[in-house]
Amino acid sequence: MAIEVNGKSIETDEEGYLVNLADWSEEAAKILAAQDKDASDNPFELTNNHWEVIHFLREYYDEYQIAPAVRVLTKAIGKKLGKEKGNSKYLYELFPYGPAKQACRFAGLPKPTGCI
Amino acid sequence: MADFDVPDFRPYPFVPELKPDAMKGKGPFIAKPVHQEPLGFPGELVDNWEEKAIEKMGDMLKKYRSFRVYLDTCVRCGACTDKCHYFIGTNDPKNMPVARQDLLRSVYRRYFTLAGKFFPKLVGARDLTRDVLDEWYNYYHQCSQCRRCSVFCPYGIDTADISMAAREIMDSIGHGQKYCNEIIAKVFKIGNNLGLPERALRDTLNGLEEDMEDDTGVAVKIPLDEKGVDVLLVTPSADFFAEPHIDGLMGYAKVFHQAGISWTVSSYASEAANFGLFIGSYENMRNISQRIRTAALELGVKRIIFGECGHAWRVAYSYLNTFAGPFDFLDPKYPVPQHICEFTYDLLQKNVLKIDKSANDDMVLTFHDSCNVARATRMGNFPGGQFVIPREVIKAVCNNYVDMPADTIHDQTFCCGGGGGLLTDDLMELRVKGALPRMEALKHVVEEHGVTHMAAICAICKSQFTKIIPYYGFQMDQIVSVHQLVSNAIVLDGGEV
């Protein structure tokens, strides 16, 4: 599978995750997001709230070569963006399919695997 | 919410009307060479796969007497037919355990029995064709190897063994499942199913220590790679990552802290799960098990304790000594290995832990027996300990506890719907449908007894339930870890009350 970003074809795996992490761009994230549906069944659109999480995930991945645990993510978001955002309810509202898997896909990170 | 029909709750349990081919399909994603090769399997389907598959089956028949017995003894009495959660949830007759096994049994008859060689049609024997292989791949990934059907089999046929054998044969010809094999490869490379490297693990654990200190005022530690301590805790890596697993991990830490027993997690053996079991591969099971031995020796511990993980406890309880023993370097006063529930239960019996049950008064609990714990292991030193001990731990820390109906618990427990290597998004329809019997049992106690939360001691069960429970109208945070309940109620010395 592949997506078209600014005229360039970018490879994704069967689950829609980027094959090469270096292919990621904000434009690619928007296209990856639009493959999912939001709560009203429209193509998923990224708001500032989503971008805050996506950028944090990418920074964390750069540092640790894995996506953060949900708890690490909520804590970091809470510290950075205020307590009202530092909980998993907020993250699940943003990413209904789960902050770990859906947000990682938009952020161009590999899918977390295991018993999760 | 879903592009398939979520099953309706049934007014009372009954044998569903059959829907032939309801779950016909391609099965889960197939493993790529990068997932296959580190496990010692061919990267992709080999050219002469028919021949190789039959050769492999022949080897296994010679090696494992049990395999031949299970293939020979079924009399098709039908006792197993309506015992499978996937059959109940999907109505596909090929998900009757007898029919699912027959997909392999029919091929066995063709190549390994006299009648099948000469009169295949008369005895329901078939050639191994590409269609048969595709059917195997699809339906042997619709069995969670929970062994509920085996409880009802008058011959005691271990149907899970047949699913495992089918997967082993398919792996050996280069036709493995991506989910399981990608994960096993990660264990070999990084040490755990998640692929969580040591630095990330340390960062996560530091964060949890901070949280516990903020909550309780007590510096509860989660030591990593600390040499010379008493206990090595081997726990599923989901305990470092997912909710509500991580709350259970903090529960273990508080129990160790309060009991004053030194312990550590290992970054090398940072996984209790052993997916080698799911793919029926003793070689891979052994290689994963060996990591635990290596870590225990390097860290110089006296005891090994397993965290909340269903099939890990089966591998630990039934196979660890064979694969990674002898454990003569450990303290013989304690079971090798020990389950965290046994450990906590023992401390509770000795009144070592101070408990404030009222901390869990906002909940009415029930307990989901995980299939591998219930039907393949024991805890404590008495029969049925694996049923009694987790419940006694819950009751020691909670005032409100109710069991689900008797035919859905203990050795008759229903699978969560995601066990046996099926906890993958590409099997979501199967996972949701297979959860129906458990969801019905939960709904019963919710309505009749006001149950608010279901506790579990398996990483897969917890992840599966949090994912699928909203399809049935419940909330994901209604699933809790047993040691999360302990964590809520334990009173730490010097802590804030």
Q: ipTM beyond 0.90?
A: yes
pLDDT at B495: 67
Mean model confidence pLDDT for chain A:
92
Catalytic residue among A42, A82, A114, A115: A115
CB B71 within 8 A of CB B162: yes
The minimum CA-CA distance between B414 and chain A, rounded to whole Å, is 18
- Could you give the count of Cα atoms lying within 13 Å of B349 in the half-sphere of its Cβ? 9
Asked if B463 is an interface residue toward chain A (Cβ–Cβ < 8 A), one would say yes
Do residues B268 and B341 touch, judged by C-beta distance below 8 A?
no
Name the residue among A66, A75, A92 with its Cβ closest to that of B195.
Answer: A66
Token digits for B229? 């301590």
B394–chain A Cβ distance below 8 A for any pair: no
Q: How far is A6 from chain B (nearest CA, A)?
A: 29
Interface touch A114/B208, C-beta < 8 Å: no
What distance in Å separates residue A112's CA from the closest CA in chain B? Answer: 6
Q: Which of B204, B423, B460 sits opposite A72 (nearest CB)?
A: B204
Determine the length of chain B. Answer: 497
- Show the tokens assigned to B25: 């399909």
**A116: chain B residues, CB-CB within 8 Å:** 194, 238, 241-242, 459, 463
Contact B29 A116 (CB under 8 A): no
Measure in Å the smallest separation between the Cα of B271 and chain A Cα atoms: 10
B13: left (phi over 0), alpha (psi -120 to 50) or beta: beta
Residues 93-112 of A with CB under 8 A from B: 98, 100-101, 112
CA dihedral B479, B483, B484, B486 (to 10 degrees): 130
Q: What pLDDT, on the 0 to 100 scale, is given for residue B164?
A: 98
* Cβ distance of A14 and B29 shorter than 8 Å: yes
Helical H segments across B119-242, by residue range: 130-139, 148-152, 159-172, 178-190, 198-216
Please tell me if residue A83 touches chain B, with a CB cutoff of 8 Å.
no
Helices (H), B1-147: 33-36, 49-63, 65-73, 85-90, 97-112, 114-118, 130-139
Report residues of chain B scoring pLDDT below 50: 497
Task: Give the residue ranges of chain A where pLDDT is below 50.
Answer: none
User: 3-class DSSP state for residue B466?
Assistant: helix
CA distance B179 to chain A (A): 8
Residues of chain B with Cβ-Cβ distance to A65 below 8 Å are 197, 200
Q: With CB atoms and an 8 Å threshold, state whether B425 touches A101.
A: yes
DSSP secondary structure of A74-109: HHHHHHHH-GGG-SHHHHHHH-TT-TTHHHHHHTTP
Q: Do B463 and A115 touch (CB under 8 A)?
A: yes
For Cα atoms A52, A58, A60, give the angle at the middle one, nearest 5 degrees. 100
Q: What does R_g of chain B's alpha carbons equal in angstroms? A: 23
Q: How far is CA A74 from CA A70, B243, B355, B430, in A?
A: 6, 12, 29, 31
Chain A residues inside the 8 Å CB shell of B460: 115
Q: Does A64 contact chain B (CB < 8 Å)?
A: yes
Integer angstrom CA distances of residue B302 from A80, B227, B251: 43, 11, 21
List of chain B residues whose C-beta atoms are within 8 Å of the C-beta of residue A64 = 197, 199-200, 203
Model confidence, pTM: 0.97
Task: Dig out the tokens for A49 from the structure.
Answer: 């709230």
Catalytic residue list contains A115: yes
DSSP string, A24-68: --HHHHHHHHHTSB-TTSSBP---HHHHHHHHHHHHHHHHHSSPP
**Is the distance from CB of B134 to CB of B17 less than 8 angstroms?**
no
Nearest CA in chain B to A64: B200
Identify the structural domains of chain A with CATH numbers, from first to last: 2-106 (1.10.10.370)
pLDDT for the residue B14: 76
Collect all residues of chain B within an 8 Å Cβ-Cβ radius of residue A75.
207, 211
Q: What is the pLDDT of residue B454?
A: 98
pLDDT confidence of residue B12: 78
CB atoms within 10 A of CB B378: 18
Residue B363 in 3-state DSSP?
coil
Q: How far apart are CA B15 and CA B383, in angstroms?
A: 32
Which residue among A14, A64, A70 sits closest to B242, beta carbon to beta carbon? Answer: A70
Question: Any CB–CB contact under 8 A between B250 and chain A?
Answer: no
pLDDT score recorded for residue B496: 56
Residue pairs between chains A and B whose CB atoms are closer than 8 Å: 82
B200–chain A nearest CA distance, Å: 5
Binary contact (B208, A71; C-beta < 8 A):
yes
Q: What is the DSSP string of B236-294?
A: -GGGGTSTTHHHHHHHHHHHHHHHT--EEE-STT-----TTTTTT-HHHHHHHHHHHHH
